[in-house]
A = this chain, B = another copy of it.
């Protein structure tokens, strides 16, 4: 059997209360007593039962992360950011992926009830009504990349700002006929990137028509969009893909057709996935600090756990960076930072 606080108490000739106080750093214990208790506890390899501790203290030292179906670099980065910050706060990370429908998402939330002190949520189902209904009200939660404007604490990548920055960059390079390969229609991030494209088109090149090609974030859809561009009577001078995978798909379509990037057409992406720098030419894109999104969301959650009263429901945005490589023409050296909203300090 595992050894308990009673065993330590017996061995140390004190009460379990004293052991508890010594181990938890309560000040009401003699240094000498504490030292003896700690020594014996260590010798006995005592690890307090987290179940018992949680039961009485109502703290689990664990946070739950509800994430959509886990794929690719994006999620490992996100988890890395969360995990790192969680560790720094002595919090464990309970991971739960949400596939399927809203009912399943609700079930997942429920199953975490009582197991976690706080929740990090990234879910396409997360509209305000759903959250109002299903989010446990007794623990804090922070939303990530959610479409919810207010009412909940949230952290988001600055999709709109990044898109605007890229568009300004393209226009500054003399492009007017800029096509957008859009992401999935109902995807919030895709919508924000589209909105950035539209706003800048309307604002900076009002006489040029928008050209939006529907994609779905897959490389295949980028390829198809690239083929469509090639078939156009009047070809745009630049193509802005709403993510790098589509940009790469488009690039291959252009390459195969013998159309040179960037000489004959400029091409830009979004996300700065690792592949972006390896394709030829390397992709000008928008870097999104995914790990930072995770760690900042966790920081905020940890704060909310400690000080619920200080938790504001305001949405916060993480700045993104324009990464200028050579797919839109010869690159100035290095990165250009475009802080749209300054990220809050951690």
Contacts and interface: CB of A to CB of B under 8 A. Distances in A.
Interface string A88-121: 0000111111000000000000111111000000
Interface string A201-223: 00000000000000000010000
A228 interface: no
Contact of A79 (B54, B70, B74, B279): B70
Contact of A110 (B47, B49, B54, B69): B47
Nearest to A79: B70
Contact of A2 (B79, B114, B248, B278): B114
Contact of A71 (B51, B80, B113): B80
A95 B97 contact: no
Contacts of A111: 92
Contact of A113 (B47, B113, B275): B47
Interface residues of A, number: 46
A278 B97 contact: no
Complex copy number for this chain? 2
Interface string A170-210: 00000000000000000000000000000000000000000
A76 B95 CA distance: 12
Contact of A114 (B50, B74, B84, B110): B50
A79 to B, nearest CB: 6
A95 B114 contact: no
Given A51-B60, A96-B93, A113-B47, A73 B73 contact: yes
